Amino acid sequence: MMSHEEMVMDYQMDHAVAILRRTPATLKTLLAGLPDVWVRSDAGPGTWSAYAVVGHLLHGEETDWLARARIILEHGESRPFDPFNRTAMFDKYTDYSLERLLDAFEQARVRNLEALDALKITSEKLALKGTHPALGTVTLGQLLSTWVVHDLNHIGQILETLSHQYAQAVGPWRAYLGILRPIVTE
Alpha carbon 116 to its chain centroid, in Å, reads: 16
- Which H or E element spans position 55? helix 50-63
- pTM score, two decimals? 0.91
Q: What is the pLDDT along the chain (186 residues), one digit of tens a residue?
A: 655 555 556 778 889 999 999 999 999 999 999 999 999 999 888 899 999 999 999 999 999 999 999 999 999 999 999 999 999 999 999 999 999 999 999 999 999 999 999 999 999 999 999 999 999 999 999 999 999 999 999 999 999 999 999 999 999 999 999 999 866 655
Domains defined for the chain, CATH in brackets: 4-180 (1.20.120.450)
CA torsion through residues 96, 23, 162, 48, sign: negative
The full DSSP string for 113-176 is: HHHHHHT---HHHHT-EEEETTTEEEEHHHHHHHHHHHHHHHHHHHHHHHHHTTTTTTGGGGGG
Region for 2 from its dihedrals, namely left if φ exceeds 0, alpha if ψ lies in -120 to 50, beta otherwise: beta
What is the C-alpha to C-alpha distance for residues 135 and 35, in angstroms, rounded to an integer?
Answer: 39
